[in-house]
Amino acid sequence: MSLISPAARDALQAWCASLKAIDGKPETTIEAYRHDVLAFLEFITEHFGDATGIAPMTRIKPTDMRAWMASERRRGVGARSLARELSAVKNFFRWLAEREGFDPTAVLATRSPKFQKKLPRPLAKDAAKAMINTVELTPREDWIAARDAAVVTLLYGCGLRISEALSLTWADHPLGETLRITGKGNKTRIVPVLPVARDAVARYAALQPYAMEPDDPLFRGVRGGALGPRQVARAMEIARMQLGLPSSATPHAMRHSFATHLLEAGGDLRTIQELLGHASLSTTQAYTAVDTARLMEVYSKAHPRGHG
């Protein structure tokens, strides 16, 4: 830490302490953040050729940020890692600017490098249907077979996240034509429920052996507790191996397939965004991972005056 000034070192330690006390971040995350910001501060100190406390940090310009990013690239840092480093640096400067009273815009406005997010591959329509059927064939007990089929049908038929499907309670049964789902960030959305999904859940509900209260989880494990995501993933793993499908055929891929198949059928991106509960349209575009020409075709159909 010899490169940076005592004042900068103290600021870094105080920020790390605030991450723990206020944000409750785990030690491993704080240590990764500390490492990233320390490396940035060392670069800036050397870049400016002085270590006179906090002052150099308050006069960072966009050109200095570009110089740092170029230096990281030369060191062989990939786009994903650089995006993570920049996120830590921005977090630190947001905190420091509030404490020291300077404008951190030059740092905060720095664009994160683009990198390809790893997306689950969608299953073909016949593979998605085969997955539902095969999941139902594996368990020995009828009610467990019906349960697994019902959960996977909800993932594919309603585009639910696994956590959303497993958060349904007995009070949600019998399913109506729509379902109110509380997803990420406590956002509520309404999703239509296909008859096939309603029937699958009704079949499971009729077969399951437990006395249910309204607040109880709709989907139960073998021993009566709430069904966990790992059990669903395991059921799909067994079915996947039987069908010879790739390891990318996971519960999340069923939701992904729902979006892709809707888009292929000419669905409106905005509608699909709402059904999936995505905060931004760009997430839906990345998620459906279809080519730009296809997106523009759908966009043109949905918004005939969109280009004018």
Active-site position among 252, 261, 299, 305: 252
- Is 47 an annotated catalytic residue? no
Give the C-alpha separation, 177 to 155, whole Å.
16
Give the SS3 label for residue 115. coil
DSSP 133-185: HHHHHS-SSHHHHHHHHHHHHHHHHH---HHHHHT-BGGGPSP-SEEEEE-GG
- Please identify which of the residues 184, 230, 234, 301 carries the catalytic annotation: 184
- To the query of whether residue 299 is one of the catalytic residues in this protein, the response is no
| Residue positions counted in the chain | 308
Tell me the H-state helices in 101-141.
105-108, 125-137
Q: Is residue 180 flagged as an active site residue?
A: no
Task: Respond yes or no: is residue 173 known to be catalytic.
Answer: no
Q: Which entry of 147, 161, 240, 261 is annotated as an active-site residue?
A: 161
- The catalytic position among 198, 203, 261, 278 is 278
Is 255 labeled as catalytic in the residue annotation? yes
Q: Are strands 178-182 and 188-192 parallel, antiparallel or unpaired?
A: antiparallel
Which of helix, strand or coil describes residue 189?
strand
Rounded distance between C-alpha atoms, residue 86 and residue 68, angstroms: 10
Count of C-beta atoms within a 10 Å radius of residue 23: 10
Is 203 part of the annotated catalytic residue set? Answer: no
Q: Which residue type sits at 163? A: S
Q: Which of 147, 198, 203, 255 is catalytic?
A: 255
Positions marked catalytic: 161, 184, 252, 255, 278, 287
